[in-house]
Homo-oligomer: A and B are copies of this chain.
């Protein structure tokens, strides 16, 4: 089923049919109708491969994320896909498995497929840099959530500030001695959260008794860290976790060792994944405006010039929202604990257009 056949049945030339269907040039109404009718009758749908070869646009955008099994990413992916769909674009999704080599391979493969742009959440804020830059020299690229360098457009959330709010909240609850179960700082978000945590602890708690454990963004690491924590001679007032998965792992081990949250120690997660609200105790976490991040990233992808050429690079930073739940409210009596109605921070986008390299 080619455009040629449609043209034949319509008694027209392929050129005219093409124009009639795409509206790229005016076609006499009568011929247009004939073309449309023939296409309809034959159930013709254009071969996008052929079209892509000629127009040099595939109508496809690639996206590379570190790990779809981390419930944080599906939410972003859905937002991105929804937005892309609205403009008739397909999403080519890849999971880099948090591996820089894999990530590079995937990006190259996407480029071979001549995608129209790439959304990438670089798994390593340093080593992913060359890959991101290379990609950006060929097609529009937007970094989403995580970044590797500031030479390429970025849309994400102010992690530093969000983490500071977490610590401030804990300090207000009377916590003075903190432990941080971090993810290794290969991911930019992890690095920013760590930094935010450290600075906030300095400010709000005078940096006392600041223990830090570095692993990854997994539940299993949370378990391991909790075991190490328990092996020390005393518990901190609060355990801050790099994300919800880690917090769940920590919670699991604490509980199995008879440590009560929030009675004996307060606990926080990050990302406000769906499960954070239904664990026991429900987890205080940080909600990010993912819908907006996704939308903005797609939007930005269309305005990024084809080949990054030293012009100003756009970066959008959204503000996250602290969601307080029972895991940081030792005072709440069971009756009061549902529904959770703690104080909340405000959210709102915060745009910054900066020169490259800033």
Contacts and interface: CB of A to CB of B under 8 A. Distances in A.
Given A49-B52, A248-B275, A75 B81 contact: no
Contacts of A91: 92-94
Contacts of A74: 68-69, 71, 74
Given A75-B69, A78-B95, A93-B93, A47 B112 contact: yes
A277 interface: yes
A71 B274 CA distance: 10
Interface residues of A, number: 48
A280 to B, nearest CB: 4
A78 B53 CA distance: 30
Nearest to A251: B278
Interface string A227-266: 0000000000000000001001101100110000000000
A352 interface: no
A108 interface: yes
A58 interface: yes
Contacts of A219: 274, 278
16 contacts: A45-B112, A46-B112, A47-B53, A49-B58, A49-B113, A49-B114, A68-B68, A68-B78, A69-B274, A71-B74, A81-B94, A81-B95, A90-B94, A92-B93, A252-B278, A275-B275
Given A48-B113, A92-B93, A279-B280, 20 more contacts: A45-B108, A45-B112, A46-B112, A47-B53, A50-B53, A60-B113, A68-B78, A69-B71, A69-B75, A69-B78, A91-B92, A91-B94, A92-B92, A219-B274, A219-B278, A249-B278, A252-B277, A255-B280, A256-B338, A275-B279
Contacts of A95: 77-78, 81
Contacts of A111: 45
Interface in A139-186: none
Contact of A90 (B92, B245, B277): B92
A61 B56 CA distance: 21
A52 B112 CA distance: 11
Given A113-B60, A280-B279, A49 B53 contact: yes
Nearest 4 pairs of A and B residues by beta carbon: A256-B338, A93-B93, A252-B278, A68-B74
A121 to B, nearest CB: 15
A248 B278 CA distance: 7
Contacts of A130: none
A208 interface: no
A246 to B, nearest CB: 11
Interface in A64-101: 68-69, 71, 74-75, 77-78, 81, 90-95
Contacts of A277: 252
A108 to B, nearest CB: 7
B93 A113 contact: no
A77 B81 contact: no
A252 B277 CA distance: 9
